Amino acid sequence: MSSRDLVFASIRRALGVTGAEEPRRKAVADRLRDHPRGVIPKRGQLGAEERIALLLAKIEAVSGTTQRIASLDDLPAAVGDYLRAHNLPLALKRGADPVLAAAPWEREPALTVTIGATAGDDLVAISHADGAAAETGTLVLLSGPDNPTTLNFLPDNHIVVVAADTVQGDYESVLAALRDRFGPDGLPRAINLVTGPSRSADIEQTLILGAHGPRRLHVILVDRQASLNGV
């Protein structure tokens, strides 16, 4: 008997089942198909504007910084100002994300934007979040060529662009959107739910930012969807 079969046999012996019982199989198939929602906090059940306010407040509460801009046209200046304010070099790594690609980067001529994953030698990366959950200030980032996972973790500074109309109230709405788009068999390799910059409190429970991931997380919320949808 293989170890796999031994484990299954032990579980079935413990539960007193064979695994072939039709009602059991149906109960499991139903739950997987229906994925019932449990308790969803009221705090995120808000109108669009209040939801955005909650998202930004929650990000600030976990030591992220936030900024709101009217459209993608303002993104290069916002990024340039942020880098200058923190005495960072005007260099940025991004993925192939079409929204990020559509920003008029030429308006910030001193800014060098390179494209691809990072090998750890970039100080600043920018990503486009697929969405966000306002209830805890959580960003949703998907792996792939558009927004490589390494950009979320290796650079010291992570700038994340979020479109206003992708801000959801709760995790369940975020997951439902992913399920609708990809199906249960088509999730991207990694879904990163990011809530604030990296931290550790392993030394005398003193909270320090920038443990292994970014020391700073700056979220830029883009209001007008028109220019985002236009790409």
Partner 1 sequence: MTHHTTSPRFKDNTKAALVDPELQKALHFVETNFPQRRRNVADMLPEFDALRDSARDIKNHTLSFLDLYLETFEARAMARGSKVHFAVTADEANRIVTDICREHGAEVITKGKSMVGEETGLNAFLEANGFAPVETDLGEYIIQIRHELPSHIIMPAVHLRKAQIEADFRRVHKDLPKDRNLDEPAALLAEARATLRAKFLAADVGITGANFLVAETGSAVIVTNEGNGDLTATLPKVHIVLASIEKLVPTLDDMAQLMRVLARSATGQEMSVYTTVMTGPRRPDDPDGPLEHHIVIVDNGRTAMLAGKFRDMLRCIRCGACLNHCPVYHAIGGHAYGWVYPGPMGAVLTPSLIGIDKAGHLPNASSFCGRCEEVCPVRIPLPRLMRFWREREFERRLSPTVQRTGMKLWAFFAKRPRLYRLATWPAMQVLAWFGRKQGRFRSLPFATGWTKHRDLPAPQGKTFQEQWRERSRS
Span 182-221, contacts to partner 1 by CB under 8 A = 184-185, 187-206, 208, 210-214
Q: Point out which span in 41-49, 86-94, 106-114, 222-230 binds partner 1 (CB under 8 A).
A: 41-49
Q: For partner 1, how many residues bind (rule: CB under 8 A)?
A: 82
Amino acid at 3: S
Strand partners, 160: 127, 219
- Closest CB to partner 1 among 44 and 76? 44
Residues 153-182 that bind partner 1 (CB under 8 A): 153-154, 170-172, 175, 178-179
Q: What is the DSSP letter of 74?
A: G
CA dihedral 187, 193, 197, 201 (to 10 degrees): -120
Q: Which residue number, 90 or 209, has a Cβ lying nearer to partner 1?
A: 209
Identity of the amino acid at 207:
L
CB of 86 to partner 1, least distance (A): 17
Shortest Å, Cβ 140 to partner 1 = 10
Do the strands 138-142 and 131-133 form a parallel or antiparallel pair, or are they unpaired?
Answer: antiparallel
Distance from CA of residue 33 to its chain's centroid? 25
Least distance (Å) between residue 178 CB and partner 1 = 8
Nearer to partner 1, 38 or 47 (CB): 38
For partner 1, the binding residues in 122-151 under the rule CB under 8 A are 136-138, 143-145, 148-150
Binding residue for partner 1, selected from 39, 47, 180, 226, defined by CB under 8 A: 39
Buried b (16+ CB within 10 A) or exposed e, 48-79: eeebbebbbebbeeeebbbbbbeebebbbebb
